[in-house]
């Protein structure tokens, strides 16, 4: 009797639950799960909008791997990972700096944070002016006699990618700083106090207590910034459009260009599948690097 009652209740709850879930599930199904499947399927086809879809097997992938533009974009995307370590290091330093009781500390936190809420278009355009041949940056450097010729921040193929990386870093610092700050503030003070009473020096406290306790935060920041670096698009699209001479063309830019400028949807899907695989491997490597905690503490 009681068992039947519980079962009846559960069936009733199931019906209500799926009524609640219906609309979100339909939208997620069409715009999140379906693209995951069809994106992979599409990568085996040739499709350009005008002509009917044509199955081409692995030929998109075969084309990709010998292609200089792909190899170049892949190289640039991997190179972009160079933003991750300095970004994390600097944001930890900033978090430590602003993690103190002091008059006006909120002003500094706010100033560091404003780039985070500014749109990437605005950020990229204003750095474009500062990076210009006759921009303020060259003016300052030439005034201080660091260089006699203006530097082609965005026009020199050897430098352009690094200039944009700097902008990515500049915009991201405040975000990671806030996460590390939340981490620092979650460390119970009596833990540090106890170590101090036991005679630990401030440096020891930092290396042996603070830093290990920041580990889950560092893992989160590292995973997020790695994915963001490999996916980078907007700042490059606005600042250089991938040039000069493809020197700033990353995978994100190439996928966009192939799909929405050349209308090669199948080929572009193959690129997207490859980038996704890279992202998955990179995420797993990150989690492995930080070992304990794993996905569990990342999401739940």
Footprint of another protein on 213-242 (CB under 8 A): 216-217, 219-220, 224, 227, 231, 233-234, 237-238
Residue 72: CB minimum distance to another protein, A: 18
Residue 144 binding another protein, by CB under 8 A: no
Using CB under 8 A, pick the residue from 38, 55, 89, 285 that binds another protein: 38
Residue 297 binding another protein, by CB under 8 A: yes
Residue 115 binding another protein, by CB under 8 A: yes
Residue 97 binding another protein, by CB under 8 A: yes
Using CB under 8 A, pick the residue from 71, 85, 126, 193 that binds another protein: 126
Residue 68: CB minimum distance to another protein, A: 21
Q: Whole-angstrom Cα distance, residue 184 to residue 177?
A: 10
Q: Whole-angstrom Cα distance, residue 148 to residue 143?
A: 9
Using CB under 8 A, pick the residue from 178, 229, 232, 236 that binds another protein: 178
Question: Nearer Cβ to another protein, position 94 or 160?
Answer: 94
Using CB under 8 A, pick the residue from 3, 103, 134, 291 that binds another protein: 134
Using CB under 8 A, pick the residue from 56, 64, 84, 94 that binds another protein: 94
Which residue shows structure tokens 């193959």?
270
Residue 295: CB minimum distance to another protein, A: 7
Give the range of 32-40, 58-66, 74-82, 190-198 binding another protein by CB under 8 A: 32-40
Binding mask 1-30 for another protein (x = CB under 8 A): ---------xx-xx-xxx-xx-xxx-xx-x
Q: What are phi and psi of 27, to 5 degrees?
A: -65, -45
Using CB under 8 A, pick the residue from 175, 222, 240, 257 that binds another protein: 175
Q: Given CA atoms 163, 167, 168, 173 in this order, what sign does their dihedral have?
A: positive
Footprint of another protein on 244-283 (CB under 8 A): 252, 255-256, 259-260, 265, 268-269, 272-273, 275-276, 279-280, 283
Question: Nearer Cβ to another protein, position 69 or 276?
Answer: 276
Using CB under 8 A, pick the residue from 58, 65, 86, 119 that binds another protein: 119
Could you tell me if 43 and 268 are in contact, meaning their C-beta atoms sit under 8 angstroms apart? Answer: no
Residue 234: CB minimum distance to another protein, A: 5
Using CB under 8 A, pick the residue from 58, 65, 129, 146 that binds another protein: 129
Q: Whole-angstrom Cα distance, residue 33 to residue 267?
A: 20
Residue 272: CB minimum distance to another protein, A: 4
Residue 173 binding another protein, by CB under 8 A: yes
- Residue closest to 204 by CA, chosen among 193, 213, 195, 217: 195
Could you tell me if 268 and 258 are in contact, meaning their C-beta atoms sit under 8 angstroms apart? Answer: yes
* C-alpha Rg value of the chain to the nearest Å: 25
């Amino acid at each position: 009797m009681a068992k039947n009652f519980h079962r009846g209740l559960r069936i009733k709850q199931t019906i209500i639950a799926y009524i609640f879930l219906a609309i979100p599930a339909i939208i997620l199904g069409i715009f999140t799960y379906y693209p995951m499947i069809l994106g992979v399927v599409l990568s085996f086809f040739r499709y350009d909008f005008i002509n009917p879809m044509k199955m081409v097997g692995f030929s998109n992938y075969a084309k990709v791997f010998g292609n200089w533009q792909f190899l170049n974009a892949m190289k640039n995307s991997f190179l972009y990972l160079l933003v991750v370590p300095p970004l994390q290091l600097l944001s930890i330093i900033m978090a430590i700096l602003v993690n103190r009781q002091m008059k006006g500390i909120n002003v500094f936190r706010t100033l560091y944070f404003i780039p985070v809420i500014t749109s990437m278009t605005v950020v990229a355009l204003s750095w474009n002016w500062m990076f210009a041949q006759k921009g303020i940056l060259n003016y300052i450097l030439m005034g201080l006699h660091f260089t006699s010729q203006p530097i082609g921040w965005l026009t020199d193929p050897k430098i352009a990618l690094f200039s944009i990386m700097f902008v990515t870093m500049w915009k991201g610092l405040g975000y990671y700083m806030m996460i590390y700050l939340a981490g620092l503030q979650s460390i119970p003070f009596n833990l540090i106090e106890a170590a101090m009473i036991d005679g630990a020096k401030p440096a020891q406290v930092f290396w042996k207590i603070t830093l290990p306790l920041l580990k889950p935060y560092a893992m989160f920041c590292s995973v997020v910034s790695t994915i963001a670096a490999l996916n980078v698009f907007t700042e490059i699209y606005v600042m250089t459009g991938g040039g000069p001479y493809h020197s700033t063309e990353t995978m994100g830019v190439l996928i966009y260009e192939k799909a929405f400028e050349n209308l090669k949807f199948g080929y572009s899907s193959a690129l997207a599948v490859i980038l996704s695989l890279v992202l998955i491997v990179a995420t797993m490597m990150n989690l492995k690097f930080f070992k304990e905690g794993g996905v569990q503490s990342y999401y739940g």
